[in-house]
Amino acid sequence: DTGVSQNPRHKITKRGQNVTFRCDPISEHNRLYWYRQTLGQGPEFLTYFQNEAQLEKSRLLSDRFSAERPKGSFSTLEIQRTEQGDSAMYLCASSHIQVTDTQYFGPGTRLTVL
Amino acid sequence: DQQVKQNSPSLSVQEGRISILNCDYTNSMFDYFLWYKKYPAEGPTFLISISSIKDKNEDGRFTVFLNKSAKHLSLHIVPSQPGDSAVYFCAASWGTSGSRLTFGEGTQLTVNP
């Protein structure tokens, strides 16, 4: 049983560049979530998918952010024209809603925008 | 608008004693509560959860208590071990929200040998 995996684990980029992160959820989990965590705060919800459908997006998710889950399995989160304020840990979680409401998190991707 | 609040940024206890971490919430729609533990540079690890229809849930050394009238939950760790040293987050969700989690700010627990 493999857990949630995220790649890359670390990403350093220059302001204005685009970045893309990948999340592979636990097999057969039909819900996938993205959160962002900054220093000293708890994770904040960004968006979630049920299978391939993106059902909700937070106000935190500006137009520069886009997420996809094309086949209902892995997901990508893209940030265009990165800003220094985008520096954070980006966390992915998955759950199987028919089994449990518990979300299991991946190790996260640490983004640093210079 | 902080709907889930952990008022203690840090807590220090001796090995073998009880650790009590507290969490308050304001949204009465929340019906599912969870505790996560987080080590540096790792994602949160699920510890224990409780539904709003219960007031207590126990799993080994971990017990979560829910007081709905006070909108308060607590996590008890007995006995505390040095390996329990980490940041603990409480989180809450409700059914129609798609289970999106709202987290508190976290409490740094240090268990001293």
Give which of A102, A109, A111 to mutate to test B binding, by max B Cβ within 10 Å: A102
Residues B20 and B71: their CA atoms lie apart, in Å, by: 16
Out of A42, A48, A104, the one facing B89 most closely (by C-beta) is A42
Judge whether residue B99 has pLDDT over 80. no
Distance (Å) from the alpha carbon of B113 to chain A's nearest alpha carbon? 26
Instruction: Look at residue B97 in the predicted model and tell me its pLDDT.
Output: 54
Instruction: Look at residue B98 in the predicted model and tell me its pLDDT.
Output: 62
Q: Give the torsion sign (CA, B5, A29, A4, A111).
A: negative
Judge whether residue B95 has pLDDT over 80. no
Q: Determine the average pLDDT of the residues in B82-100.
A: 87
Average of per-residue pLDDT values in chain A: 93
Instruction: Look at residue B3 in the predicted model and tell me its pLDDT.
Output: 94
Q: For A62-81, what is each residue's pLDDT tens digit?
A: 899 999 999 889 999 999 99
A100 or B48: which leads in pLDDT: B48
Instruction: Look at residue B73 in the predicted model and tell me its pLDDT.
Output: 97
A28 or A25: which leads in pLDDT: A25
Q: Is B69 on the interface with A (CB under 8 A)?
A: no
Q: Is A110 on the interface with B (CB under 8 A)?
A: yes
Instruction: Look at residue A1 in the predicted model and tell me its pLDDT.
Output: 55
Q: Are B81 and B17 in contact (CB under 8 A)?
A: no
Instruction: Look at residue B84 in the predicted model and tell me its pLDDT.
Output: 97
Residues B103 and A58: their CA atoms lie apart, in Å, by: 14
Instruction: Look at residue A34 in the predicted model and tell me its pLDDT.
Output: 97
Residues of A in contact with B48 (CB under 8 A): none
Is the CB of B46 less than 8 angstroms away from the CB of A4? Answer: no
Count contacts between A and B (CB, < 8 Å): 65
N-to-C CA span, chain A = 37
Is the CB of B43 less than 8 angstroms away from the CB of A107? Answer: yes
Structure tokens of B56?
A: 């207590």
Percentage of chain A exceeding pLDDT 70:
97
Instruction: Look at residue B96 in the predicted model and tell me its pLDDT.
Output: 57
Judge whether residue A89 has pLDDT over 70. yes
Average of per-residue pLDDT values in chain B: 94
Q: For B47-80, what is each residue's pLDDT tens digit?
A: 999 999 999 999 999 999 999 999 999 999 999 9
Q: Is A98 on the interface with B (CB under 8 A)?
A: no
Residue A73: CB partners within 8 Å, gap ≥ 6? A24, A25
Q: For B25-45, what is each residue's pLDDT tens digit?
A: 999 999 999 999 999 888 999
Task: Return the CA Rg of chain A.
Answer: 13
Q: Give the torsion sign (CA, B96, B100, B105, B111).
A: positive
